[in-house]
Amino acid sequence: MMISRPQISIVITTCNGSRFLRQQLDSIYAQTMLPQEVLVSDDGSTDDTLAILEEYHQRYGLFYSSNPGPHGVNANFMRAFRLCSGEYVMICDQDDIWWPNKVATLYQAIRFANPDTPVAVSSTREDMDAQGRCIRAAHSYPRSEGWESTLLDTGCSQGCTMVMNRCLVDRVLDYYDTKPLSDELMYDVLVSLIAAVQGQKINLGIPLMSYRHHADNQVDPIRTHRYTFWAKVKDMPTYYPFLLDYRIRELAVADALFESETIAPDIRLFLSRMTQLHHESSYRRGLAIIGSLPQITTGRKWKIRFLTPIVIVLKYLQSHLSLA
């Protein structure tokens, strides 16, 4: 008797990824639970990527489609979402290594979710270098749900750690097709925001993969230089230790994106505050906005109020004195 596989699609996007692609694919086909479908959307590769995909098509039945490109990360992932057929869709990069229990763990976490609600589940990761050596050990965190745990944390919604249900996939595609503002967000930010604001976003808090850092990463490339004090200052959030500046901008985009949608009043108020903060030129008024947020503890508010002026002075010195 043949046992049917769960309705799971793994979608991968590639673009000149031949260097690490075999390791990524081998880790998928070594899973304790195999998906029904592994689908690759290629964005105009000119290296050996297509030859490798054909090899895995012949060996395992992998499906791939080449799109003369490049069209960019967002467009390529949206194309992959359109091509896949699974009720549950797992997002995959071209250069990582999945741990053997990744598919099974994510599937068990999402399989009983309401199919009529947009749902995403994410995990965490270990970090490795181009040679596969661990450069930052994986950490586990308590499982969390609720919109605050996603909107106030940029580290729990990386695309390659997530699984979506079909309802969320369809909604993401609808937003991307009908709301041009969606393309101002990275595809995984859009996925996580729609899930957290309109449905359910679950953060498992456990590592299920090794994320590879190398010079050709589209996002989060490994640093090839010493991370100096002034480089750290440049990367600090203006309102320290609050959200990074780019995250505040993302939430302001989300506020505009969901403007005509019915969402919970507390989420609406929070997003409107982030829009105000994004456009605020006075850091004193910005601190007042942060001080009005019930989602931030009193202790953290005092820390932000005390440290922000110091960080602003340091950022001024870094910028005007060209300190590296």
CA dist 99 and 249 (Å) reads 33
Q: Do residues 248 and 151 touch, judged by C-beta distance below 8 A?
A: no
Which of 177, 212, 247 is where one domain is finished? 212
Share of the chain above pLDDT 70, in %: 94
Contacts of 210 (CB under 8 A, 6+ apart): 96, 97, 99, 125, 126, 127, 128, 132, 134
Q: Which residue has the higher pLDDT, 139 or 149?
A: 149
Do 176 and 300 share a structural domain?
A: no
Mean pLDDT rounded to a whole number for the chain: 93
175 belongs to a structural domain: yes
Could you tell me if 257 and 187 lie in one domain? no
Q: Give a yes or no: residue 219 inside a domain.
A: no
- Asked if residue 236 and residue 168 are part of one domain, the reply reads no
The pLDDT value recorded for residue 1 is 42
Query: Which pTM does this prediction carry?
Result: 0.93
Give yes or no: residues 314 and 184 share one domain: no
Going by pLDDT thresholds of 50, 70 and 90, the confidence category of residue 324 is: low
Each residue's pLDDT tens digit, 239-253: 999 999 999 999 999
Backbone angles phi, psi at 322, to 5 degrees: 55, 45
Q: How confident is the model at residue 320 (pLDDT cuts 50, 70, 90)?
A: confident
- 217: in domain: no
132 pLDDT more than 90: no
45 and 172 inside one domain = yes
Supply the pLDDT for residue 304: 98
- Reply yes or no on whether the pLDDT at 154 is more than 90: no
Q: Is residue 150 part of a domain?
A: yes
pLDDT band at 227 (very low <50, low <70, confident <90, very high): confident
177 and 246 in a single domain? The answer is no
Largest CA distance in the chain: 72
Lowest mean pLDDT of 1-15, 23-37, 212-226, name the range: 212-226
pLDDT at 224 over 50: no
**End residue of a domain, out of 145, 178, 212:** 212
**At 219, is the pLDDT very low, low, confident or very high (cuts 50, 70, 90)?**
low
In a domain, 103, yes or no: yes
Tokens of 203: 């953060």
More confident residue, 93 or 138: 93
Q: What is the pLDDT of residues 172-192, one digit of tens each?
A: 999 999 999 999 999 999 999
Q: Is the pLDDT of residue 2 over 50?
A: no
Single-letter code of the amino acid located at 72: G
Residue 63: give its domain's CATH number: 3.90.550.10
Q: Based on the domain organization, do 116 and 237 belong to the same domain?
A: no
| Domain contains 2 | no
**Mean pLDDT for the stretch of residues 200-220:** 85
pLDDT of 252-301, one tens digit each?
A: 999 999 999 999 999 999 999 999 999 999 999 999 999 999 999 999 99
What residue has token string 């090794």?
Answer: 210
CA-based angle 46:47:50, to the nearest 5? 85
Determine the pLDDT at residue 155. Answer: 79
Say how far apart CA 41 and CA 13 lie, in whole Å. Answer: 5
The answer to whether residues 98 and 183 belong to one domain is yes
- pLDDT score, position 221: 53
Do residues 135 and 196 share a domain? yes
| CA–CA separation, 163 and 102 (whole Å) | 10
Taking only the tens place, the pLDDT of each residue in 10-62 is 999 999 999 999 999 999 999 999 999 999 999 999 999 999 999 999 999 99
| Res 70: pLDDT | 87
pLDDT at residue 95 tops 80: yes
Within 8 A by CB and 6+ apart from 195, the residues are 118, 119, 120, 150, 164, 168, 201
Residue at a domain's end among 152, 178, 212: 212
Q: Please give the tally of structural domains in the chain.
A: 2
Quick one: 111 and 234 in the same domain?
A: no
**Are residues 237 and 300 located together in one domain of the fold?**
yes
- The helix/strand/coil state of 207 is strand
The confidence score (pLDDT) of residue 6 equals 64
Task: Provide the residue range defining the domain that includes 267.
Answer: 229-320
Separation of alpha carbons 193 and 199, rounded Å: 9
Domain identity same for 119 and 250 = no
Q: List all residues 6 or more positions away from 259 whose beta carbon is below 8 Å from its beta carbon.
A: none
Q: Is 221 a domain residue?
A: no
Q: Enter the DSSP assignment of 180.
A: G
Q: What is the DSSP letter of 55?
A: H
Q: Each residue of 227-266: b (16+ CB within 10 Å) or e?
A: eeebeebeebbbbbebbbeebbbbbbbbbebbeeeeeeee
Q: Is 248 a domain residue?
A: yes
CA angle 27, 169, 117 (to 5 degrees): 115
